[in-house]
């Protein structure tokens, strides 16, 4: 039985024990002594690559990592296939603590048909909790046509509920102190941060122009990012944005703007107006909440949100609103 892990790069004996929990159906398992991973991408001319860490407080960083990393690939019109993991472990961590995190990660990877092909694990005084980061690699979904142009007068669709990740973070920290927050916890605890189902349903229609997942800075920041990418503006109807039940109320109580709170678990989709109905119908078939929340406009019109019949400039958030309370 291993008590506390020694400082430094994880030794080979411990790595071998961790490797026992990895079972890649489509790729070679990681190997000690190899400096890189070999991936067969026959018949795929281009790949998608993205990286994300899990830094927020959670008992399950490994479980969350696959969803958060995968979302970037799904939002790009792809399918995640391989991941490399970097795991930084604080001093005095037991092997079982580390193994638990990586078992959850491996389990979620297997469920999503993602192979863990390599990485790095190290015990270091530089961190005070387990920090897991992933670099994920994917291929394009055959139903997605890349490099389509965002133009004015296209529909902006929100697939899924806004505020899922924010709801989970807020309720996990404050549920003991307020009945309303406890209700938010009940409403959000079973909601997934993964946009896999949303993205696959959207691309199935073959009518998607572009997609983007709202993370830090929430829906507002995601809208600013995607309009900047397309060199357009937007006009958004606030009442069309569907949030997790009770989320807006809690944000009001806490004095934060729900549009600026981290929102992994939903997806912004741009489509030509004549095709957006096909995307919405796919969502309805799969019982995914969705609506057309606005339109793209000419860039010089800026980014506008309509709320209570008032036309307002869409707020920019240099920091996520959740930082104000934690």
Q: Residues 302-315: pLDDT tens digits?
A: 999 999 999 999 99
Name the DSSP letter for residue 220: H
**What are the start and end residues of each CATH 3.30.1330.10 domain in the chain?**
8-140
**What are the start and end residues of each CATH 3.90.650.10 domain in the chain?**
155-324
- Convert the pLDDT of each residue in 114-127 to its tens digit: 999 999 999 999 99
Supply the pLDDT for residue 28. Answer: 67
Ranges assigned E (strand) in 177-247 = 210-212, 233-237
- Alpha-carbon distances, residue 181 vs 77, 102, 143, 173, 188 (angstroms): 35, 30, 40, 9, 10
Token pair recorded at residue 202: 């959207």
Say which CATH superfamily domain 8-140 falls into.
Answer: PurM-like, N-terminal domain (3.30.1330.10)
Q: How many CA atoms are closer than 13 Å to the CA of 289, on its beta-carbon side?
A: 14
Largest CA distance in the chain: 65
Q: How many CB atoms are closer than 10 A to CB 239? A: 10
- Convert the pLDDT of each residue in 275-297 to its tens digit: 999 999 999 999 999 999 999 99
- Convert the pLDDT of each residue in 149-172 to its tens digit: 999 999 999 999 999 999 999 998
**Check: CATH 3.90.650.10 for 155-324?**
yes
pTM tops 0.85, yes or no: yes
pLDDT higher than 60, residue 232: yes
- Convert the pLDDT of each residue in 22-68 to its tens digit: 878 776 667 666 566 666 777 766 889 999 998 877 778 888 899 99
Token pair recorded at residue 85: 């993991």
d(C-alpha 168, C-alpha 218), whole Å? 14
Could you tell me the pLDDT band of residue 2, with boundaries at 50, 70 and 90? low
């Amino acid at each position: 039985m291993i008590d506390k892990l020694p400082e430094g790069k994880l030794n080979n004996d411990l790595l071998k024990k961790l490797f026992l929990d990895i079972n890649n159906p489509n790729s070679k398992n990681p190997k000690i002594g190899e400096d890189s991973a070999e991936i067969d991408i026959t018949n795929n001319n281009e790949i998608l690559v993205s990286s994300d860490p899990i830094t927020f407080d959670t008992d399950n960083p490994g479980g969350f990592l696959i969803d958060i990393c995968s979302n970037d690939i799904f939002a790009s019109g792809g399918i995640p296939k391989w991941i490399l993991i970097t795991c930084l472990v604080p001093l005095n961590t037991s092997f079982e603590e580390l193994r638990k995190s990586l078992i959850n990660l491996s389990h979620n990877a297997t469920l999503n048909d993602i192979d863990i092909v390599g990485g790095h694990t190290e015990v270091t005084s530089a961190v005070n909790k387990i920090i897991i980061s992933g670099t994920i690699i994917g291929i394009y979904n055959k139903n997605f046509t890349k490099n389509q142009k965002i133009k004015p007068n296209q529909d902006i669709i929100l697939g899924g509920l806004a505020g899922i990740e924010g709801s989970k973070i807020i309720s996990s920290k404050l549920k003991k102190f307020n009945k309303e927050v406890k209700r938010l916890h009940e409403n959000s605890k079973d909601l997934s941060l993964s946009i896999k189902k949303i993205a696959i349903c959207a691309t199935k229609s073959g009518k998607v122009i572009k997609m983007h997942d709202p993370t830090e800075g929430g829906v507002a920041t995601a809208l600013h990012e995607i309009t900047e990418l397309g060199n357009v503006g937007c006009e958004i109807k606030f009442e069309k944005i569907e949030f997790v039940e009770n989320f807006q109320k809690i944000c009001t109580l806490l004095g934060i703007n729900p549009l600026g709170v981290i929102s992994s678990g939903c997806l912004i989709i741009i489509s030509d107006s004549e095709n957006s109905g096909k995307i919405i119908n796919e969502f309805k078939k799969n019982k995914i909440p969705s609506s057309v929340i606005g339109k793209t406009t000419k860039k010089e019109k800026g980014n506008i949100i309509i709320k209570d019949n008032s036309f307002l400039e869409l707020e920019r958030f240099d920091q996520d609103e959740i930082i104000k309370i934690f």
